[in-house]
Structure 1
Amino acid sequence: MSQVRTVSDTKRDFYTHHTRPINSIFRRVVEELLVEMHLLSVNADFRYDPFYALGVVTSFERFMQGYRPEADKVSIFQSMCQAIGGDANRYKEDAMALVELAKRCSGTQLIECFRQDMPPEGAQELWEKIEAIAKNDHFKYSRLFAIGVYTFLGESEPQLLEDTEKRDEMLTTVTAGLNLPEEKMKKDLDLYRSNLEKMNQVLEVLEDALAVERQRREKAEAEAKAKTAEATVATETNDEQKETSESGSDA
């Protein structure tokens, strides 16, 4: 019987693949997401699905906005997926395919897919995905799955998520159609939106601090250039005066 991997194993694998330091503001985001993915990957009831993939990709992209250097984000995401035995390309491709499916579905089709026992016209693919989850008695619900569903709804009908009352009604329909815990999903999504707002506030403060530092540095550089220019002019003036004086003495 193989030994279940621990969180420490996964973290060690991650830092083996991604060797560059991670900005302190984002390190907690990365490690919390990594731990969440790890705990799901070792759960006997967990099964990878496109909604979960979309939740992972969306969470990473939203919380890592503004990360510098930008190129390191690719390595971080790939290393996270590798550390839990996953494939970063599969996550991104499945997430993108689900987003494209959402854009092809109207709000009416979306709602009917969660309500009907038969697929609505033009929504066979989505209905089949929903049915597979609803009929799985051992389906492992997760916060990342909820974020994936939430993102899917927003891609299909953005206005559904803009109005609190409509959003709650839609989530009630969704959880009933998927046989998932409504209150748990709503609380998870409330926390997700709250954390995003907090992260955005942190990034705004950081950007303001960077702007102030940039202005200070530019001012210092301008002042240094001005002093250099003044010194150059003074030197040239002294040289000219010296030349004039020597020329007068020769005469």
Structure 2
Amino acid sequence: MEILSHLISCSVDKVRTVSDSKRNFHTYHTRPINSVYRRVVEELLVELHLLSVNADFRYDPIYAVGVITSFERFMQGYRPEQDKPSIFSGICRSVGADPEQYRRDAESLIAAAKGLSLENFLTQSDSNNQIVSTLNAIANSGQFKYSRLFAIGLYTLLVEAEPSITQDKEKRDQVLTKIAEILHLPNEKMQKDLDVYRGNLDKMDQLLTVIEDALEAERKKRQQKEQEKQQA
């Protein structure tokens, strides 16, 4: 019994905590995070951490598309721009993931989506397409851990294949419902997650507009002061 208790204790001790992942992140990215984006970085880091320690979670390239898309969309306008690769790398490496694999897989699937019809998305008839083969593997896995980031990746690929779907809510919902049935996903939760995602993107766009307007006003103010100095 003592040996069993020791083994259980050791196993528990090895599970990485959120605090561990956060500390890891700051060893990989040592520069301060722009305050406007601090919450974005922390929430993505925590989300990746919780999935990485979930026994049912399995990495797949559609999930990678969701991670990349979330990071790029919500980090738009980040300054200094050159810090973004280091931040993304730090988020991935802090939870034991490979940022280069995420980027390779995401780029490969997005390229595959451009040549995939919506019909193939639904019927999964083109087995040579990487997206279709990935969806088939998920549908036949028998046990798949759904995540919000997977839903975002799936939605991103749908938009790449059929851009007009963003303008037709009824069609979009029908397509997502069909895919949820095929892959045995929680349709209601997926639809809700994507509604929140699109809403947050709109809020982020509005925030970026406000920031840009404020920066422009500040530039004009500095120019005016400089002109006044020269005239004086």
Q: Same fold (TM over 0.5)?
A: yes
- CA distance in structure 2 between the partners assigned to 1:65 and 1:124 by the alignment: 30
From 17, 20, 24, the equivalent of 1:13 is 24
Deviation by residue 1:203-226 (Cα, 9 ceiling, x = unmatched): 111111111111001111111122
CA distance in 1, matches of 2:104, 2:129: 20
Q: Which residue of 1 aligns with 2:7?
A: none
Q: Which residue of 2 aligns with 1:127?
A: 132
CA distance in 1, matches of 2:122, 2:72: 27
Alignment of 1:1-251 (within 5 A): 1-2=10-11, 3-113=14-124, 120-121=125-126, 123-227=128-232
In structure 2, C-alpha distance between the alignment counterparts of 1:100 and 1:169, rounded to whole Å: 24
Deviation at 1:161, TM superposition (A): 2.4
Q: Cα RMSD between the aligned structures? A: 1.2
After superposition, the Cα gap between the structure-2 partners of 1:24 and 1:121, relative to the gap in structure 1 and judged at 3 Å, is: closer
Q: For 2:126 and 2:99, how far apart are their aligned partners in 1?
A: 33
Runs of 4+ in 1 over 4 A off after TM superposition: 121-124
Task: Report how many aligned residue pairs link the two structures.
Answer: 221
Which has the higher mean CA deviation after the structures are superposed, 122-131 or 195-204?
122-131
Gaps of 5+ in 2: 1-9
Q: Which letter maps to 1:148?
A: G
Deviation, 1:67, is 0.4
CA-CA distance at 1:123 after TM superposition: 4.7
SS at match of 1:30: helix
> What amino acid maps onto 2:72 in structure 1?
E
1:138: how far off?
2.2
In 1, Cα distance between equivalents of 2:194 and 2:47: 15
SS in 2 for 1:65: coil
Q: TM-score, normalised by structure 1?
A: 0.85
Aligned partners of 1:105 and 1:123 also within 8 Å: no
Q: Is the 8 A contact 2:180 2:186 kept in 1?
A: yes
Between the aligned partners of 1:82 and 1:195, the Cα distance in structure 2 is 26
Does the CA-based 8 Å contact 1:45-1:139 persist in structure 2?
A: yes
What is the rounded CA distance, in whole Å, between the counterparts of 2:230 and 2:52 in structure 1?
58
Summarize deviations over 1:113-140 as a string: whole Å, max 9, x none: 1xxxxxx246554332112111223211
Larger Rg: 1
Q: Using the alignment, how far apart are the partners of 2:217 and 2:129 within structure 1?
A: 54
TM-score computed with the length of structure 2 as normaliser: 0.92
Residue identity opposite 1:98 in structure 2: L
